[in-house]
Chain A
Amino acid sequence: MLVLSLCLAGICGAEQRDVEQKKLVEQKKQLYARVETLKQEQDYLVFQKTMSDSDSKYLIINFAARNMQLKYKNRVLKDVPFKRVLGRVSRLSHGALTLTQKIEGPRERNLLIFGQALVLQGKYAPSTLLEEGIPRVFLSRKDFLSVYYAIESGAMAFILL
Chain B
Amino acid sequence: MRVMRKEKRETMDVGRGTRDVREEGRENIQSSCHPSIFLFFSCLRTAVAVFIVLVVVALSSPAWAEGPVPPTPIKVLSDEIQLLQQQVAQLEEENQGLMNMLRDMDDGELYLVVDTESNRLTMRQGNTVLMTAIVGSGSRQFLKEERGRSWYFESPLGSFTVLGKERNPVWIRPDWSYVEENMPIPSANDPDRFVRDVLGKYAVLLGNGYKIHGTKWKNLLGTHFTHGCVSLGDEDLEVVHTSVKNGTRVYIY
Partner of B77, one of A24, A38, A42, A145: A24
Q: How many whole Å from B89's CB to the nearest CB in chain A?
A: 10
Partner of A4, one of B50, B84, B101, B102: B50
Question: Closest residue of chain B to A39, judged by CB?
Answer: B91
Q: CB of A104 within 8 A of chain B?
A: no
**Across the interface, do A74 and B84 meet the contact criterion of CB distance under 8 Å?**
no
Interface size on A, residues (CB 8 A): 43
A24 to B75, CA, bound (A): 10
One of A45-53, A81-89, A112-120, A127-135 contacting the partner: A45-53
**Across the interface, do A149 and B117 meet the contact criterion of CB distance under 8 Å?**
yes
Which secondary structure dominates where chain B touches chain A?
A: helix
Which secondary structure dominates where chain A touches chain B?
A: helix
**Across the interface, do A150 and B102 meet the contact criterion of CB distance under 8 Å?**
no
**Across the interface, do B47 and A74 meet the contact criterion of CB distance under 8 Å?**
no
Chain A interface residues toward B at CB < 8 A: 1-4, 7, 17-18, 20-21, 24-25, 27-28, 31-32, 34-35, 38-39, 41-42, 45-46, 48-49, 52, 57, 70, 72-79, 142-143, 145-146, 148-150
Return 26 A-B CB contacts under 8 Å, by A number: A3-B51, A4-B50, A7-B54, A21-B74, A21-B77, A24-B81, A28-B80, A31-B81, A35-B88, A41-B95, A42-B91, A42-B95, A49-B102, A72-B251, A72-B253, A75-B113, A75-B249, A77-B251, A78-B113, A79-B129, A143-B118, A146-B253, A149-B117, A149-B253, A150-B115, A150-B253
